[in-house]
Amino acid sequence: MSKSKKPVLEELYAAVVKGKVEKAQKLAEAVLKEGVSANAALEKMKSALQEVDAQFVRKKLLSADVAAAFNAMQAAFKVLEPHLKVKPVGFGGKVVIGALKGNIQGLGKDIVAAALRSAGFQVKDLGVDVSPKAFVAAAEKEKAQAIAVSVSVVDTMLFLKELVDILRRKKLFGKVKTVIGGRAVSEDIAKQYEVDAYVRDEWECVIKIRELFSS
């Protein structure tokens, strides 16, 4: 990266950390005008959120500061989303995505949905606080091949069991693939609840779903 392009990403990083919504949005626009890739800007903002999380754990930031950082990144992400680039999947496929019941933060889910769309998948976004029943109903209605679930609150993991149980009752288990991601889940959780795959970020989600669709 040239020296002329580095400062705008550093400014964007700082704007997200400080929770400056309007500034983050304007810097995202500047990123595109300067020819910096939207993908690079997204990665920089994700690093900023990691820093915010670290400062929160060290009690240097309050929960309100964390919320402000998420809002700043959300504003910038809306500008960058249409310009994200992912390797096309090369075939169709539909995914239902949402944040599980009890999870009201949708930024991570939004980023994954954008990556999936950019890769060529059809995506039905159910939003946040989505019940297991609603996930399955949407998958049936949309004739989706996969359900992607965002889980950021540990206490809501039990709803994953309900989701899998409903899929079994409707004889959809194994036919409609399930993918989970978010700070509250892991590879072990995926195995425990018989979920098809756990993903760490949006790019891995694209790869995993591509693999599940071709298996």
| Domain 6-83 of CATH type 1.10.1240.10 | yes
Q: Which amino acid is at 211?
A: E
Sheet of 177-181, strand order: 122-125, 94-99, 146-150, 177-181, 197-199
Query: Which of 61, 19, 2, 12 has its CA nearest to residue 41?
Result: 12
- In contact, 183 and 152? CB cutoff 8 Å: yes
- pLDDT of 67 reads 85
Name the region of 124 (left: φ>0; alpha: ψ -120 to 50; beta: rest). beta
- pLDDT of 1 reads 41
- pLDDT of 4 reads 47
Q: Phi and psi at residue 91, in whole multiples of 5°?
A: -155, 165
Domain boundary assignment for the chain: 6-83, 94-214
Three-point CA angle 132, 202, 196, nearest 5°: 45
- pLDDT of 32 reads 95
- In contact, 39 and 85? CB cutoff 8 Å: yes
In the numeric block, which tokens belong to residue 177? 């693939």
Low-confidence residues of the chain, pLDDT below 50? Answer: 1-5
Distance CA 109, CA 207 (A): 16
Q: Are strands 177-181 and 146-150 parallel, antiparallel or unpaired?
A: parallel
Give pTM, 2 decimals. 0.76
In the numeric block, which tokens belong to residue 127? 């939003």
Q: Which residues contact 195 (CB under 8 A, 6 or more apart)?
A: 149, 160, 164, 178, 179, 180, 189
CATH architecture of 94-214: 3-Layer(aba) Sandwich (3.40)
Q: Compute the radius of gyration of the chain from its Cα atoms.
A: 18
Distance CA 36, CA 50 (A): 21
pLDDT digits (tens, 9 = 90+) for 75-109: 999 999 999 887 665 556 899 999 999 999 888 99
